[in-house]
Structure 1
Amino acid sequence: MCSVTFDADVVAPPKHLDAPFFEEVLETALRTARVKLLSIHIRIGSSTGENYCSQIYRAKVSFKRPDHPEQDIVFIVKSIPHLDSVEFINDLQVYLKEKMTYYEILPRLELMMQCKRRFGPKLYQCIKQPENTLVFEDLGQLDFVMASREEGLNEDHCQLVMERLAEFHATSMALAVLDPHIFDTYTDGMLSPRGLEKDSFLMQFFAGNGKELHRLVSSWPGFERIAGKIGKYMENHRSNLVRSQAPLEKEIKVLNHGDLWVNNMLFKYDAAKRPQDLILIDFQLSVWGSPGIDLNYFFYTSLSLDVLRHRRPHLLRCYHDRLAKTLLDLDLGVPVPSYDQILEEVHRREAYGFFASYGIFPTISQDKTQTADNNLESFKDADFAKQKFRQMFESRRLAETLRYSLPHFERAGVLD
């Protein structure tokens, strides 16, 4: 009889993560039904406060195959409970999109790259009931790890992200030529009108951050004009957010990851601790639209301030060079955008970067000691939310970055 045990820190063990569930996962992963489960041990798979909408588990499965010694395999389990606070997830079809991305999109993109690239982990199982659950390979077993979200990425990391992102975007452009309707489901991203209804969690969260941004900047000498513009921007907050992602005529379109920040990237390093490879995770907010969406979001959530201040043009050049090379190598007749066209896409989506700088980055720049109680259910409490919004905007890294980025956004016309 196979035993299933949970670590003590798994407060409410999901009942559906049982032996029959993992038996099916194991058969898919090993591509054989000739396997006997011996034991399953499940523990929390991420730091508390690092995942707002889902719970991550790491499941170690011991098993035996005929004529083989006893073996272990580790799976990553992503479970999204059915809670009122995450109803917007259903509105944005995140479970369907993530399932489609892992089962259909990524394998086709990797084939187009002649399997020289892996864009994401393997998905072994997904179920919708009793709660949305996806089971992935554990990329940690292949020596992929997360970088530090608190410090920001250095230039070596950022250049690798630009190269891999360009390949991901380019292959999606080519796949859209081969299969014109394949991305029809990918119309709702993070700033979709459906997700930003007046009383939705996302709208309340971003509004709370916007209010704190205005309060913080209003206290800075020399920023009076910018603070006034931010105040006016927040008077039409929802419409400004929706417009920053809304499709535009004649724009370049790619499959955006949609949530491209440090914790959704896994790096592999050489002996000298230099990043050599990169795999993306969490495609639940992917959206078909301008590459300026991913590029601006990444720039204003994940770069160290020194890289953002001095190396942004270089990174965009790296992105364009790899995008052009990949499209030419694929040889499917997709028009290759010029560097100036990419710059224009980024410029037109500067408002998305502004959103990322106050809607997302404050959470990312928090010290880990302050994020342990971050979850959607906690933010439903008004007093907790008010205290947490204030705490997020006390980060020194956030203040230093905003002092640089806000004048940039003003020059770009975002605040007008």
Structure 2
Amino acid sequence: METSTNGQVLDPALYNEDELVPPTWINGEFFETVLKTAKKGDIEKIINYNISPATLKGDHFASIMFRGVVQYLDKSNTKQEISLIIKTMPEIEGNKKDILSDSTIFEVEIDMFRDVIPKFEEMLKSVGDNTKLSANMLYYSLSPHKVIVLQDLTKLGYTTIGQRMCTLDEIRMALGKLAKWHACSYILNQEINGGLEKFISGTFNMPGVDKNECFTKGTERLANLARETPKLQKYADKLDQVKHLVLPKCCEIYDMCKTKGHINVLSHGDFHAKNLMFRINPKTQLSEEVLLIDFQFCVWGSMALDILYFIYMAIDFQLREKVYDEMIYEFFCKFRETLKLLNYKGKLPKFSDLQKDLLLIRRSEIYIASTFLPFMVSFIENPETGPEDIVNSVDKQYELYKLQGYIDTIQPTLERFLNRGYFDNLLEDDDE
């Protein structure tokens, strides 16, 4: 067997530093184990393999990912080739590894690919809906290394969104698929007596979030920006008053949503533009299909969590302010439509129920806009700066808040927060 990794020279500016060199255990023996599982034993031997980074800098954070192109002989001695996506935990010492070391994100994602997603797709198929939600998982292991191997969606014509936000058509596609995901989980959880409620760690309360200032100081840094920026100064006092409340109040959302009266579902948990892959029509060059990726932060909670996160992390601010209410309503209509399609026999949730949840978790909007949104703006304006560059540098974290794109997007956002009483309501909640 010829064992080789790629011989090409990689531009380190384009890729995450911890993905330039794959771990030594991703080798011929590993690929043979993977293919014996994926191909159900129809493999005679590995001929050759080539390993390269699977994504560009800024496309993901909570793992390291590689593309393995493997040539092998099957049992009939015919030469075959397969492209695989290998996803595993960071091994280089640093903040990224520290933040993720105590998490169960790989256990959660394995559960999604192995048990949950196939069940959702089976539920839809049983009523004539052949919706595909994501890639197929080909292999997984938690020991000696946490690793997931997936089919390579680029071979099916799918691509990530690149350095931009979603178009209106892509927004509708993504929210339509999310609505089906939520509807399936809403029904399945009742059928399995609350079995999906075991997923309790989301983006706000994941172990390790409190280890880095980029996740804990966002609202404080936005308050400082507001005080230093003339057109934002009217919001500075309000931000100062709530900066210590936002993250703790966000963490309370998961417990709050366990009580009755909420539309609770299995949330994707990290539903942003870079966690979507679109299939492009070669003639029109427009997106015609979407698949969801990255299920490490799936959590049981209000459907409002995914909706609000997506609105900020996938939609350009100018479009966001125009379609904010419209997209929420369209999403909910698709959710109810899917419940009916799946022959749900219970009482259908009402739009007013979702509106109550949106009001209840408004605090998450403040956190998303002050902490996660600067990251997304940076990935678009400064693609050479990856998430680990920001996590590892306090100076780079401060630079996020000086980006003109962020200043432009946060002003109308803060105005809406002010006019809708978000800041005052957060303070009133704290007084109760």
Same fold (TM over 0.5): yes
- 8 Å contact 2:63–2:87 — kept in the other structure? yes
Deviation at 1:24, TM superposition (A): 2.1
1:186 maps to which of 183, 188, 199: 199
Instruction: Please state how far the C-alpha of 1:205 moved relative to its aligned partner.
Output: 1.6
Contact 1:261–1:297 (8 Å) recurs in 2: yes
Alpha-carbon distance between aligned partners in 2 of 1:50 and 1:260, rounded to the nearest angstrom? 13
Q: C-alpha separation between the residues in 2 aligned to 1:379 and 1:147?
A: 23
Task: Give the Å deviation of 1:414.
Answer: 2.4
Find the residue that maps to 1:415 and give its secondary structure. Answer: helix
Partner of 2:418: 410
Letter in 2 for 1:290: S
- The answer on whether the counterparts of 1:207 and 1:237 sit within 8 Å (CA) in structure 2 is no
* Structure 2: 5+ residue stretches without partners: 11-18, 425-432
| Equivalent position of 1:145 in the other structure | 159
Partners of 2:390 and 2:171 lie apart in 1 by 33
Q: CA deviation at 1:189?
A: 0.6
The one-letter code sitting in structure 2 at the alignment partner of 1:212 is R
Look up the equivalent residue of 1:345 and give its one-letter code: D
Residue pair 1:27, 1:35 contacting (<8 A) in 2 also: no
Q: 1:11 to 1:34 in 2, by over 3 A?
A: closer
Distance in 1, Cα, partners of 2:292 & 2:112: 12
1:283 alignment partner in structure 2? 295
Counterpart CA distance in 1 for 2:156 and 2:206 is 39
- 1:17 aligned residue: 26
Q: Secondary structure at the match of 1:17?
A: coil
In terms of mean alpha carbon deviation, does 318-327 or 66-75 score higher?
A: 66-75
2:72 maps to what in 1?
Answer: 63
Does residue 160 (structure 1) correspond to residue 173 (structure 2)? The answer is yes
Is 1:326 matched up with 2:355?
A: no
User: Is 2:389–2:396's contact at 8 Å kept on the other side of the alignment?
Assistant: no
Give the whole-Å Cα distance in 1 for the aligned partners of 2:169 and 2:389: 37
How much has 1:388 moved relative to structure 2? 0.5
Q: Among 254, 265, 275, which residue is 2:276 paired with?
A: 265
* Equivalent residue for 2:404, pick from 369, 391, 396: 396
Q: CA 1:246 to 1:228, structure 2 compared with 1: closer, same or farther past 3 Å? A: farther
Alpha-carbon distance in structure 2 between the residues aligned to 1:126 and 1:389:
34
CA deviation map 1:70-94 (0-9, x unaligned): 2211011112125563344354421
Counterpart residue type for residue 158 of structure 2: F
Cα distance in 2, alignment partners of residues 377 and 367 from structure 1: 11
Relative to structure 1, the CA distance from residue 321 to residue 35 in structure 2 (aligned partners, 3 Å threshold; closer, same or farther) is farther
Matches within 5 A, 1:290-301: 290-301=302-313
Q: SS of the residue aligned with 1:266?
A: strand
Q: Distance in 1 between matches of 2:149 and 2:344?
A: 34
What is the 5 A alignment of 1:329-344? 329-344=341-356
SS at match of 1:124: strand
* 1:81 and 2:90 correspond: yes
How far apart, CA to CA, are the structure 2 residues paired with 1:412 and 1:255? 28
Counterparts of residues 15-414 of structure 1 (less than 5 Å) = 15-67=24-76, 69-82=78-91, 83=93, 85=95, 86-114=97-125, 116-148=130-162, 150-192=163-205, 194-197=207-210, 200-201=211-212, 204-248=213-257, 249=259, 250-270=261-281, 271-367=283-379, 370-372=382-384, 374-376=386-388, 379-380=391-392, 384-385=393-394, 387-414=395-422
Structure 1 residues 300 and 262 mapped into 2: Cα distance closer, same or farther (>3 Å)? same
Q: Distance in 1 between matches of 2:58 and 2:172?
A: 28
Secondary structure at the aligned position of 1:117 is classed as coil
Name the % identity.
Answer: 19
**Unmatched segments (≥5 aa) in structure 1:** none
Shift of 1:400: 1.6
Contact 2:63–2:90 (Cα < 8 Å) also in 1: yes
Deviations, residues 160-213 of structure 1 (Å, cap 9, x unaligned): 11111100000001110111242132111111174444xx23xx2223433321
Alpha-carbon separation, structure 2, partners of 1:379 and 1:294: 23
> Could you say if the C-alpha distance between residues 130 and 11 of structure 1 is closer, same or farther in structure 2, counting changes exceeding 3 Å?
farther
Instruction: Tell me if structure 2 keeps the 8 A contact 1:97–1:283.
Output: yes
Question: Matches of 1:126 and 1:72 in 2, distance apart?
Answer: 20
- TM-aligned CA distance change 1:123 to 1:322, over 3 Å: same
Please say if residues 47 and 73 of structure 2, whose CA atoms lie closer than 8 Å, have aligned partners that are also in contact.
yes
**CA gap 1:195/1:210 in 2 versus in 1, 3 angstroms:** same
1:320 is displaced (CA, Å) by 1.4
Q: 1:116 to 1:123 in 2, by over 3 A?
A: same
In structure 1, distance between residues paired with 2:381 and 2:247? 31
Q: In 1, are the aligned partners of 2:183 and 2:335 still within 8 Å (CA)?
A: yes
Q: Distance in 2 between matches of 1:347 and 1:369?
A: 32
1:237 Cα deviation after fit: 4.4
Partner of 2:428: none
Amino acid at match of 1:339: F
Instruction: Output the CA distance in 2 between the equivalents of 1:245 and 1:196.
Output: 15
Preserved CA contact (<8 Å) 1:233 1:240: no
* Alpha-carbon shift at residue 373 of structure 1 (Å): 5.0
Please say which of residues 333-342 and 323-332 is displaced more in the overlay. 333-342
**Contact 1:299/1:353 (<8 A) preserved:** no
The 1-side partners of 2:337 and 2:403 are apart by 40
Q: Which residue of 1 aligns with 2:14?
A: none
Cα deviation 1:199-248 (Å, max 9, x = unaligned): x23xx222343332112111233543421111111133442332354433
Q: After superposition, give the CA deviation of every residue in 1:107-133 in whole Å (9 maximum; x if it has no partner).
A: 000000106112121111222234322
Q: CA deviation at 1:347?
A: 2.5
CA contact (8 A) 1:36 1:63 kept: yes
Say if 1:256 and 1:293, in contact at 8 Å, map to a contact too.
yes
What number of residue pairs does the alignment pair up? 407
